[in-house]
Each structure stands twice: as structure tokens, then as C-alpha cells.
């Protein structure tokens, strides 16, 4: 007989989230019958970040300045674009519990999702560049082209 930890059963069969709640959710008391509930202050900001990014007009930096990063503070510091990227990739916001370490893959959670699965997968398509994005691409340095032109002109003139 194979030993199965209790946590695996709760996550796998019941769809309960047993870990610390991500931003936008709060851990619910056991008496509620759900593992997560919406954070009334942060859930609308997370939703707005997903909706803004799904339009294709924003980058992670813009989302950081306009959405969650502008309004949420983690340990008294604003969100980085990397943290926004991790937030946008988290399936838990679409109500999907995915914990490979416990053998749980794409299980419907016992809580109400913050966003629809359609919105989540639209954001994933933009992140993986399968869908077009109209967000402006910024160069690493704004006057990169000017520096490149001056270098080329100097080389054409025979300067070392």
C-alpha cells in the first residue's frame, strides 16, 4: 500500500489551496468551506492588471506603473516587472490549482476565481508572443540609434 500525504488528498481531490494565499486572495477560515476568498482591497487591482495586459497595449512595466505595482506594496516596496510577470503566469487567479510536487495538475479549485480562464489564456498568449501586442517596444537605451549612426559615420571617415 502506497502512503499518500493528507495534503495531496486535500489539494488533489478537494481542490483546496493549503499554502499562503497569493496577492488578491486571503486564506479563508475552514468553516467557510473554501480555501481562498477575494481580498476586497487587492482583488480589483489584480483583475485590472490582467485586463489591461490582455488588451495588448501594456507591457509588464506599464502594468507595474498602472495596475498592481502602482497600488499594491509588498514589504513596503513597489512590485517589479518580474513580480508582475509571475503574477500574470499564476493559474490560481483563473481558479486552477496546479502543484506538480504533489501530483496535482490543472485541478479546479474550491474557491471563486478572480479572472476568467479565457482572460488568463489571452494574457498567456500575449506573454508567449503568440498573440499580437500593440505595446510599444522600448530599446535598452533611447539614443542607441544615434550612437550607432555616429559610430558608423566615424568609421566611414577613417577615424579609429
Please give, one letter per residue, the 3-state secondary structure of 100-149: HHHCEEEEECCCCCCCCHHHHHHHHHHHCCCCCCCCCCCCCCCCHHHHHH
Q: What is the pLDDT of residue 62?
A: 60
In this predicted model, what pLDDT tens digit does every residue of 6-29 receive, in sequence order? 555 555 556 778 889 999 999 988
Cell of 48: 485590472
Claim: this prediction has a pTM higher than 0.85: no
Q: What is the pLDDT of residue 76?
A: 45
The answer to whether 28 and 16 have CB atoms below 8 angstroms apart is no
Q: What is the pLDDT of residue 99?
A: 83
The helix (H) or strand (E) run that includes residue 97 is strand 96-99
Cell of 54: 490582455
Assess whether pLDDT exceeds 60 at residue 124: yes
Average the pLDDT over 114-137 and give the result. 81
Assess whether pLDDT exceeds 80 at residue 142: no
Q: What is the pLDDT of residue 114?
A: 95
Q: What is the pLDDT of residue 130?
A: 73
Bridge partners of 25, per DSSP, are 38
In this predicted model, what pLDDT tens digit does every residue of 62-71 receive, in sequence order? 655 554 555 4
pLDDT band at 73 (very low <50, low <70, confident <90, very high): very low
Query: What SS3 state is found at 157?
Result: coil
Q: What is the pLDDT of residue 122?
A: 93
Q: What is the pLDDT of residue 80?
A: 76
Query: Could you give phi then psi for residue 85, rounded to 5 degrees?
Result: -60, -40
CA 4/CA 8 separation, integer angstroms: 7
Q: What is the mean pLDDT of the chain?
A: 74
Query: Could you give phi then psi for residue 158, rounded to 5 degrees?
Result: 90, 10
Q: For 42, which DSSP code?
A: T
Which among 100, 71, 87, 74 is positioned nearest to 12, based on CA atoms? Answer: 100
Q: What is the pLDDT of residue 1?
A: 42
Amino acid at each position: 500500500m502506497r502512503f499518500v500525504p493528507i495534503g495531496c488528498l486535500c489539494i488533489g481531490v478537494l481542490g483546496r489551496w493549503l499554502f499562503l494565499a497569493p496577492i488578491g486572495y486571503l486564506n479563508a477560515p475552514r468553516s467557510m468551506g473554501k480555501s481562498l476568498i477575494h481580498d476586497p482591497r487587492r482583488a480589483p487591482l489584480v483583475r485590472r492588471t490582467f485586463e489591461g495586459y490582455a488588451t495588448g497595449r501594456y507591457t509588464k512595466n506599464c502594468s507595474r506603473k498602472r495596475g498592481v505595482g502602482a497600488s499594491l506594496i509588498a514589504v513596503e516596496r513597489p512590485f517589479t516587472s518580474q513580480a508582475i510577470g509571475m503574477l500574470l503566469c499564476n493559474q490560481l487567479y483563473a481558479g486552477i490549482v496546479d502543484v506538480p510536487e504533489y501530483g496535482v495538475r490543472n485541478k479546479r479549485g474550491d474557491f471563486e476565481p478572480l479572472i476568467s480562464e479565457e482572460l488568463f489564456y489571452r494574457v498567456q498568449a500575449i506573454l508567449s508572443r503568440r498573440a499580437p501586442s500593440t505595446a510599444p517596444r522600448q530599446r535598452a537605451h533611447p539614443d542607441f540609434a544615434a550612437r550607432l549612426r555616429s559610430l558608423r559615420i566615424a568609421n566611414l571617415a577613417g577615424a579609429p
